[in-house]
Amino acid sequence: MAELLRKAMNWRAQLDAGEASNQADIARREGITRARVTQVMSLLRLAPDIQRHILSLPDAVRRPAITERVLRPIARLDHIQEQVDKFRKTISCADKI
């Protein structure tokens, strides 16, 4: 998960620096669809506390409890506190597995 978030951050930096003109440009370079670039970059909408938590996670040897599929709906929430509350609830449930 941290790898995807880092990739999204890298793509944002490329866009900001003018190294890529748009998400379609990134998609062509990466050999993926523009929709996939949009999905990954949506992780940047996560609250800063959530991003820091994800980046601090150790590399998982087995299937991680926090997946992109779990995070995408959280990233769509507009309010940071709502994101944080939903994320805390999600990781609380994951700890019980």
The tens digit of pLDDT for each residue in 75-89 reads: 999 999 999 999 999
In this prediction, residue 97 carries a pLDDT of 38
- Dig out the tokens for 30 from the structure: 């990466």
Model confidence, pTM: 0.78
Residue 35: count of CB within 10 angstroms of its CB:
10
| Cβ atoms 83, 46 nearer than 8 A | yes
Hunting for tokens 């999600």 — which residue is that? 90
Whether the CB-CB separation of 47 and 87 falls below 8 Å is answered with: yes
Query: Helix H segments across the chain?
Result: 2-17, 23-30, 34-41, 48-56, 68-75, 80-95
